Amino acid sequence: MKNWYPALIGYRYTSVKRSNHFISFISLISMLGLIIGVALLITVLSVMNGFDRELRTRILGMVPHAVIKPYATMQDWQSVDELVTAHPKVVSAAPFIQIKGMLSASGLVQGAQLNGVLPEEEKTVSIIENHMVQGSLDDLQSGEFRIVLGDMLARQLRVQKGDRVTVVLPEASLTPAGVFPR
């Protein structure tokens, strides 16, 4: 009888006799509003849980959780790396250089943010290699002119793996012929 008690109360207020149909109507509308509200809340919580999972796995897997920036040029980044990774809550760390520039290929020009990374270190902090369609981070070699482009950027420049891309940096070089971008 204890399990049927709420149902009996609900039945009592939704099925009145001829005396007052207004109370029955109000009770029915209240219950429908409550049912719709709970269903909507469950749906929103499910969507937010899925969004939270995607945020953690995709976005935060590509973007560093923390960045240490020097006031001037950092000459001895290895000692900073050792100091940071010595902390018990730091899982891994990797150095990178970041600059904005322009990429040019096939007569098309596109602005981009360029990251200079050490491929062996980048694998420990990023999921970028898991999402690479062609090539790998191991293709980047020190002293060689190689670049990894995102899918949309490669499509905008109409390039594929092995095509030549010109990188123009905002740093200028002073030459006898005038100022030229690097």
What pLDDT digit, counting tens, does each position of 9-53 carry?
777 766 666 566 676 778 788 888 999 999 999 999 988 888 888
Supply the Cα-derived Rg of the chain in whole angstroms.
Answer: 30
Give the mean pLDDT of 104-132.
Answer: 84
Domain residue ranges of the chain, discontinuous segments joined by +:
5-59, 77-172
**Tokens encoding 76:** 């001895």
Distance CA 67, CA 141 (A): 24
Distance CA 50, CA 41 (A): 14
Distance CA 112, CA 101 (A): 6
Instruction: Please give the model's pTM, rounded to 2 decimal places.
Output: 0.59
Distance CA 14, CA 18 (A): 12
Say yes or no to pLDDT of 1 above 70.
no
Say yes or no to pLDDT of 113 above 70.
yes
What pLDDT digit, counting tens, does each position of 81-99 carry?
888 889 998 888 888 888 8
Distance CA 106, CA 165 (A): 8
Dump the DSSP string for 120-142. HHHHHH--GGGG-SS--GGG--T
